Structure 1
Amino acid sequence: MAVQTGLGEPRGPWFISPELGPDGRGWWEPPEREPGGRRSRRLLAALAVVAISTVSGAVAGGVVAGQYGDPGASAASAAPVPAELVTAAERTVPGVVSVLAGGTTAGSSTAGSASVGSATGSGFAVDDQQHLITNDHILAKGGGGPVTVELPDGRRFAAEVVGREPRSDLAVLKVPASAGLTPLPLAKPNATRVGEPVLAVGSPLGLAGTVTAGIVSALDREVRLGDNRHTAVQTDASINPGNSGGPLVNARGEVVGVNTAIATIDGNGSIGIGFAIPIDQVQQTADTIIGKGG
């Protein structure tokens, strides 16, 4: 069974916020845990109060709407999804793949063989030559073994590693022309704005073609990945293990970044603070790799 890596590892991959202490604790966490798990119980109780308050508020709002608002209004009615996000998702999913690195080889639906990954993530097509962008740490976790790409329609192809750039945590793969992947358009450098809606697309927990929505929470956020510091796009779109290397796209379906890391608390999953490599850095690195590797 594939081992999920990258996003979702403790502060993964290798993410340590400059605001966190050397032990990796969040700024709000006490140096020592209280005996008997009292802090955990207090936290759960607080969360329960918030949950109960939220639910009661929603019910009360529904009652008021029913009495004084549109007779057809219902508390259970979901807010409409903006049409532009639906369109952006439809355009993006066909160009996003699952990436499996390392492991043993097994038969595939295409000619030859493909690897069953020991490290998994996502990637996306950037041109008609079937070049794909993904995160380097996925390949590193795969131990330099063979790389397989799984398309949205379930077909698998053995991928060529065109080049890797560990310092920027980016890598470029290439699959045969018969894959026929739709390249994703890239946003213009410095065009991304705080507050604009974005979608994170990838294969969290192996669920290919998953789309989650959020906004750009901040730009030029300094994070530390491995031994290097980077400026990143911060987003609250939900990203989890397997999203690494997938695109963060705006409402026009343009890639604004490559999902690379999340902040976590006590090594848990997404808490709504994720980071993506900005598209200007991605394009510059990818162009260099492709220029050298063909």
Structure 2
Amino acid sequence: MPSTIPGLGEPRGPRFVSPTLAPDEQPTGAPPVPVLPVAPTGADGPADGSDGPADRSAAPARWPRLLLAGMTVVVVSAGAGGVAGHLAGGDEPAVAPGAAPAGAGGSTGADLVAAADRVLAGVVSVRVSTGGRGASGSGFLIDDRGHVVTNNHVVAGGGTIQVVGRDGRRLTARLVGRDPGTDIAVLRVDPGNGLRPLPLASAGRTRVGEPVLAVGSPLGLSGTVTAGIVSALDRPVRLGGGARQPAVQTDASINPGNSGGPLVNGRGEVVGVNTAIATLEGSGNIGIGFAIPVERAAQVAQGLIARG
């Protein structure tokens, strides 16, 4: 069984201290949760990891098994005591507030630069403080009424919640509702705050290989943008207690503090809510991250708003 991973996301050497977070908000890592399900056989090659039947020695056979045994899925909250959530099923996605039509073409580097500029105006750092302890993550505005989507495990500990926009202003936020089953929570800030709602991608239009950006506050570094592609869709991953649920897999770098931030395409549309990463024992990000599909997140968020 994989051992507990201390300080997920911390660089090797002296403890990383974010220049933008108070001492009680510093990233503290996240607990490991069950092993990422990986099929032992199939199109990826023989189960022993060799190129074919010629190599059957004991050492080559054990190495890939050791790798798989050490790979776990962890939530990427920068807060202490974060709890991973699993995705719940849904039938029809909610209509995305302000969603723009999704094009069929690919994205260039210039597209991603423009997308990052548009998206950063609607992404916030989420900071929670209570009893001398704190948690931090990310979130994004979904409508012009001040509703912000984030992860449940970022705010599950309770306390005073503030969001920090691109301009550095701190805004007090109210918890509208949270759903541990999908790891989605909704906050609300006063409208007219200068934040720009992000459009949500149309259901079924995201494609494997499509360029994407992960936007948020990894390790408290607000306004961070990392690039990658959609590595897989409907990847069955157990993000917390309960059954495996489908997630968007990406190789865009995601680390503690990215929790609740958007995964966006080259048109600046949200395709998922960054939630977890896979990690090998003793390491941080290895280029395998997971996001809650936007249609699932939007459906849950609209339900929370309606009830809140």
1:82 aligns with 2:109: yes
Alignment of 1:61-80 (within 5 A): none
Alignment of 1:227-246 (within 5 A): 227-228=241-242, 229-246=244-261
Q: Secondary structure at the match of 2:304?
A: helix
TM normalised by structure 1 equals 0.72
Alignment of 1:192-271 (within 5 A): 192-228=206-242, 229-271=244-286
Q: In 1, Cα distance between the equivalents of 2:139 and 2:217? A: 9
Q: Secondary structure at the match of 2:181?
A: helix
Q: Offset of 1:32 from its aligned partner? A: 10
Aligned partner of 2:38 in structure 1 is: 19
Q: Offset of 1:269 from its aligned partner? A: 1.2
Aligned length: 225
Instruction: Check the 8 A contact 1:200/1:213 in 2, yes or no.
Output: yes
Aligned partner of 1:68 in structure 2 is: none
Q: Secondary structure at the match of 2:284?
A: coil
If each structure's helix is expressed as a fraction of its own residues, which one has the higher value? 1
Q: In 2, Cα distance between the equivalents of 1:31 and 1:187? A: 33
Deviation readout 1:24-73 (Å, 9 max, x if unpaired): xx95417999xxxxxxxxxxxxxxxxxxxxxxxxxxxxxxxxxxxxxxxx
Aligned partner of 1:285 in structure 2 is: 300
Q: In 1, Cα distance between the equivalents of 2:186 and 2:116? A: 23
Q: Secondary structure at the match of 1:118?
A: strand
Q: Which runs of 5+ in 2 are unaligned?
A: 1-22, 41-62, 71-107
Q: Offset of 1:152 from its aligned partner? A: 1.2
RMSD of Structure 2 on Structure 1 (CA): 2.4
Q: In 2, Cα distance between the equivalents of 1:129 and 1:15? A: 38
Deviation readout 1:112-145 (Å, 9 max, x if unpaired): xxxx8711100000000010000001112xx211
Alignment of 1:172-191 (within 5 A): 172-191=186-205
Q: In 1, Cα distance between the equivalents of 2:254 and 2:287? A: 8
Q: In 1, Cα distance between the equivalents of 2:290 and 2:130? A: 28
Q: In 2, Cα distance between the equivalents of 1:184 and 1:225? A: 25
* Superposition misfits of 4+ residues, deviation over 6 angstroms: 30-33
Q: Secondary structure at the match of 1:159?
A: strand
Instruction: Check the 8 A contact 1:199/1:249 in 2, yes or no.
Output: yes
Instruction: Check the 8 A contact 1:10/1:266 in 2, yes or no.
Output: no
Q: In 2, Cα distance between the equivalents of 1:203 and 1:269? A: 16
Instruction: Check the 8 A contact 1:197/1:251 in 2, yes or no.
Output: yes
Q: Specify the structure having the higher radius of gyration (Cα).
A: 1
Deviation readout 1:241-273 (Å, 9 max, x if unpaired): 100000000000000000000000114211000
1:118 aligns with 2:134: yes
Q: Secondary structure at the match of 1:171?
A: strand
TM normalised by structure 2 equals 0.68
